[in-house]
Structure 1
């Protein structure tokens, strides 16, 4: 069975500086795949290139279709969606209007179903649907950013640092919701500095350093790798070297 998303030999450069080099990955249906790595490793750059925000040399195939000729809006229409690290909400608009913007490509009846789905996933957004987005807490803003992306009924949701700056109890809520997305048939490509939380929820993982993948495999195997544990999880497995 072919992957839902397949990235082959991806290179992304800022001028003469190559930020992503020879990267290949795939995400299957109903799968959570995480990319972990330090700040500046190239994780966000890769997501932006897959979405079409940055030019990418290589090949991106989504749902059997070559993404190269497609603009961002067409990639969204195909079922690919990105929740950026800084959320990029319209802070002077209310929650409901922000969500409505995520439904601009779908029919009115489908949008009504999408609203119900988002409000079921995030009951707090329903309570605050008339509140200005800029007055929400950080956790609520993250829920709104995810909800807006889900309004378009994506097949694959790419999340860039969804736990950034959030309290631990809110992080737990966000990650629980990510698990619920997989159960509902949405695949997730997750970039996350909270490696421990990401590896607990993911099916598979890639470890990125300096623009390249240095390890990949089942998330439980990556979590038990001595080098990963020492570098990203903050401990060394008993009886193992971190080298």
Structure 2
């Protein structure tokens, strides 16, 4: 009865958020901000409105993890959740939405600071009913985004299914380790991007050498042709030397 009546917001506030707070609290490299207001994603908004004449609204994840460093606000964790009762349509829609949010997130972060490839990845968590899945989108060595399903588990909502606790703990500890690494890589990349801006932002002017200037011909001026005597003398000189 309660599973059928419970809303998505209640499931997130009573079950999902306590799990995330317990997992991501007291990180060794600083705190993170978990937004549960279902606000518009900054990365999605910029990606959708890039070059568009009419401004459109970006995607709104159920939960986002935010990091503000060196004056820049970036998002590197997105979560989409359903109610406890979830049908296949809702599951597939959330899976597609989450994948698009990760693409927008990695694109925005790469344009801002370009963290180390094959190491930094944007995290996506999907909760479909009692199942929770951990996914990561990471750029490989040549810059192609790769989407990986890292782990999955089932949330123990009753006392009679304690066998679900161990897989869930493994998933949450894996999430904690990924976030710790991501925070360090992101902070280093942002500081590097600010202290060492990219070179050759403006095209460098062409510089001509003095010899090239001497050889440059005036407009309409024809190059003198060598006569037969000049050719013969040139051949003799080259043979002599």
Q: Which has the higher contact order (CA 8 A, sep 6+)?
A: 1
Q: Comparing both structures, which one devotes a greater share of its residues to helix?
A: 2
Q: Comparing both structures, which one devotes a greater share of its residues to strand?
A: 1
The alignment's TM-score, normalised by the length of structure 1, stands at: 0.26
